Chain A
Amino acid sequence: MNAELVFFGRRVSMAPRNRRRILVALIYLFLAGMLVAAYSFAAWRAFSPYVIWSVIIACRLFLGGYAPGGLVKPFNGKAPKQFEMPSPLLALRLRLYPAIPGADGEAYRSDERELSQRDRAHYRAYQVLGASIVVPWFVLSLLSDPKLFGWSAATVDHLCAVLLLAILALFFTLPQAILLWTEPDMESEQQPIS
């Protein structure tokens, strides 16, 4: 796991666990807000791609794991493809520089301990997700009335689609979130000289 987040050219230390927990909480608050918005709008089909894009951007910029970039190293251990073309001007203006993988991309490769933590986090996430998949199943089986609530335009299809979106979001973010949440404070790279 990286102890530092590079966000629009600014280096933010993520060594303290509190900071990582705040980041995870903020990401999930944002995603919950997006899902509530998707539930509130009648045109949820048009809104759902925005939820999926939010998940991808959250992984790309903050969480990592299933995308290169972010705090957690890529789960597949592979460095992203490097292109010969220079970065677009917009990316340079936003200070979104491509990471330098180093020789053989060792910066992206997890060591034995990190692999063990990754597998453990996936095991925990799997238990949570097993329970979450049952919810839309029950919703579909038990609620037969297509109009769910009198005060809302939402239907059972609508609720089911939003629940499935939430499950997909959890699938792509939960292992990284568990890693960031549970990992203790990391040592700072700059040790005081005695």
Chain B
Amino acid sequence: MRFESRARRRWLVVLFYVAVAGLYCGGRFVHASAATVIWIEGVCAAFFLTLFIIFTWIAGAARCKDEREIQRVNHAHALAHRIFVGIFAAALWYVMGFHKQLPNPVIGAGYMLFITLPGTILLWTEPDMEEPQ
């Protein structure tokens, strides 16, 4: 599968985060037996794991070949830092301040966002690449 086209990379990013959302929320909104919920969670987890491997492989393959790539990676991290801190602080404030709960799901989802956000920014913003002849 080729990912030189930016549109394809963006579809992958959207699909990946839909799978993440499905993994986190899927079991909570289904009012079925425990066995059915486990099956749904299992399918979502397998789908997520496959996409995660593809996602990190593609995001990693686009990295650090030359000075320009290093600059782009650094810039993606700077942007990710600012985006993440806003989302994470708001989520913590909402969960711990309003609901007075331990933020286990927030930390789990936050970590997932943290490790994937720079790659997402790179995949989303990098223009169309030239296809190898």
Query: Which residues in B have their C-beta under 8 angstroms from that of A75?
Result: 78, 82
Query: Which residues in B have their C-beta under 8 angstroms from that of A172?
Result: 85
Query: Which residues in B have their C-beta under 8 angstroms from that of A123?
Result: 73-74, 77-78
Query: Which residues in A have their C-beta under 8 angstroms from that of B104?
Result: 137, 140-141
Q: Is B81 an interface residue (CB 8 A)?
A: yes
Q: How far is the CB of B107 from chain A (nearest CB, A)?
A: 5
From B71, B78, B102, contact of A122 by CB (8 A): B78
Q: Is A4 an interface residue (CB 8 A)?
A: no
A4 to B81, CA, bound (A): 27
Instruction: Let me know if A130 and B114 touch, CB within 8 A.
Output: yes
Which DSSP category, helix, strand, loop or mixed, fits chain A's interface? helix
Q: Quick one: given A123-B77, A171-B81, are A116 and B71 in contact (CB under 8 Å)?
A: yes
Q: How far is the CB of A4 from chain B (nearest CB, A)?
A: 25
Q: Is B19 an interface residue (CB 8 A)?
A: no
Q: Which of A9-17, A22-30, A83-91, A156-164 makes up part of the contact surface?
A: A156-164
Among B80, B81, B85, B114, max chain A CB count under 10 A is at B81
Q: Interface residues of A, CB < 8 Å — how many?
A: 26
Instruction: Let me know if A130 and B115 touch, CB within 8 A.
Output: yes
Q: Which of B7-15, B22-30, B31-39, B88-96 makes up part of the contact surface?
A: B88-96
Query: Which residues in A have their C-beta under 8 angstroms from that of B118?
Result: 126
Contact string against B for A residues 105-118, beta-carbon threshold 8 Å, 1 for contact and 0 otherwise: 00000000000101
Instruction: Let me know if A133 and B110 touch, CB within 8 A.
Output: yes
A80 to B103, CA, bound (A): 34
Among B77, B96, B102, max chain A CB count under 10 A is at B77
Considering the complex, give the chain B residue whose CB is closest to the CB of A119. B74
Near B by CB (< 8 A), chain A positions 114-143 give: 116, 118-120, 122-123, 125-126, 129-130, 133-134, 136-137, 140-141
Query: Which residues in B have their C-beta under 8 angstroms from that of A119?
Result: 71, 74-75, 77-78
Considering the complex, give the chain A residue whose CB is closest to the CB of B110. A133
A61 to B100, CA, bound (A): 32
A137 to B77, CA, bound (A): 22
A134 to B110, CA, bound (A): 10
Considering the complex, give the chain B residue whose CB is closest to the CB of A171. B85
Can you name 6 A-B pairs with beta carbons within 8 Å? A119-B77, A133-B111, A137-B104, A161-B96, A171-B85, A171-B88
Known: A120-B74, A129-B114, A130-B115; 12 extra A-B contacts, CB below 8 A, are: A119-B74, A125-B81, A129-B81, A133-B111, A137-B111, A140-B102, A156-B102, A160-B102, A168-B88, A171-B84, A171-B88, A172-B85
